[in-house]
């Protein structure tokens, strides 16, 4: 068993929910742009080092209000159990749909490196949607993009919402920034070492792990939303991450018994959102 199988569980989860014929990368990009445009959001690439990142946001923000930034999951990482995809642009950009479903407040969306942009050119390569999906350079590029979105919104504080693998990146970003008022994870991969051990696949050795940043994260307000029917990111793994945080901490987890890795987060997001926000503690 090789590291390549570390993405198999997520890849199969995406494929099983997708059409028999996977849409082309261009069609996936168009679908995301159309979804955003239907809510009067516009796309813009953000320059980072070394990656450019695709963002979507509305034309206007309420200046001074916190900005909630949604970070996408791992996307279409694997075409088969042995073959990584050529382009990780999501088939179903669930984090984008969550962002668009937020009922109030400032919101924006960030795709991951090589999603939507530049998958076929350097520095992108398949390692950045497989074993190096949470590498230091990935986090650095997202960090730069967050600062650009924050400046554009005129915000002083950020709320980071990470879906699936995007949750790991939200936590890694919160551990290095001083302006993150809260992290909310949705079906999140909070400890990829525990996740690969659970699925009996080899570790993502080229990736940073939020579990290694427990001390820095203990003071960050966190809400971790877990699906009781989620076989991709089992709820027990998320609960274990919260239990491992040093005491005292500002984190909690909640299990939604009938939710899985995809259902029913977007459908319930307008009802969930009002009770997710908590007072900043930093």
Q: Per residue in 177-187, pLDDT tens?
A: 999 999 999 99
Task: Quote the CA–CA distance of 35 and 33 in Å, as a whole number.
Answer: 5
Burial class (CB in 10 A: 0-12, 13-18, 19+), 277: middle
Q: Which residues of the chain have pLDDT under 50?
A: 1-19, 279-282
pLDDT at 80: 86
pLDDT at 278: 66
pLDDT at 16: 41
Determine the 3-state secondary structure of 181 from DSSP. strand
Task: Quote the CA–CA distance of 237 and 188 in Å, as a whole number.
Answer: 9
pLDDT at 20: 53
pLDDT at 280: 43
Strand partners, 109: 56, 70
Measured distance between the N- and C-terminal CA atoms of the chain, rounded to whole angstroms: 43
pLDDT at 19: 42
pLDDT at 6: 46
Task: Quote the CA–CA distance of 107 and 155 in Å, as a whole number.
Answer: 11
Q: Which two tokens stand for residue 264?
A: 């029913």
CB 132 within 8 A of CB 206: yes
pTM: 0.93
Task: Quote the CA–CA distance of 144 and 95 in Å, as a whole number.
Answer: 19
Q: DSSP character for 52? A: -
pLDDT at 209: 98
Tell me phi and psi for residue 46, to 5 degrees.
-110, 130
Tell me phi and psi for residue 106, to 5 degrees.
-75, 135
pLDDT at 108: 98
pLDDT at 249: 94
């Amino acid at each position: 068993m090789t590291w390549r199988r570390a993405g198999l569980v997520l890849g199969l989860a995406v494929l099983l929910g997708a059409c028999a014929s996977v849409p082309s990368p261009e069609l996936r990009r168009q679908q995301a742009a159309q979804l955003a445009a239907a809510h009067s959001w516009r796309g813009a690439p953000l320059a980072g080092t070394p990656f450019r990142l695709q963002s979507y946001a509305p034309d206007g923000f309420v200046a001074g209000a916190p900005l909630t930034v949604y970070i996408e999951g791992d996307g279409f990482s694997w075409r088969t159990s042995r073959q990584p995809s050529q382009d990780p642009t999501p088939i179903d950009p669930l984090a984008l749909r969550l962002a668009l479903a937020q009922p109030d407040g400032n919101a924006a969306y960030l795709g991951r490196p090589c999603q939507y942009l530049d998958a076929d050119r350097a520095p992108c390569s398949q390692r950045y949607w497989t074993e190096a999906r949470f590498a230091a350079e990935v986090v650095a590029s997202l960090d730069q993009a967050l600062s650009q979105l924050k400046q554009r919104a005129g915000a002083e504080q950020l709320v980071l919402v990470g879906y699936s693998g995007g949750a790991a990146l939200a936590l890694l970003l919160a551990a290095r920034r001083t302006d993150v008022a809260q992290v909310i994870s949705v079906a999140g991969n909070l400890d990829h070492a525990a996740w690969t051990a659970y699925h009996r696949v080899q570790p993502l050795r080229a990736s940073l792990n939020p579990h290694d940043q427990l001390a820095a994260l203990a003071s960050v307000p966190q809400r971790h939303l877990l699906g009781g029917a989620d076989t991709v990111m089992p709820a027990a793994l998320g609960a274990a991450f919260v239990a491992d945080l040093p005491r005292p901490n500002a984190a909690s987890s909640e299990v939604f018994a009938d939710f899985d890795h995809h259902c029913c987060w977007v459908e319930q997001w307008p009802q969930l959102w009002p009770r997710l926000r908590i007072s900043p503690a930093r």
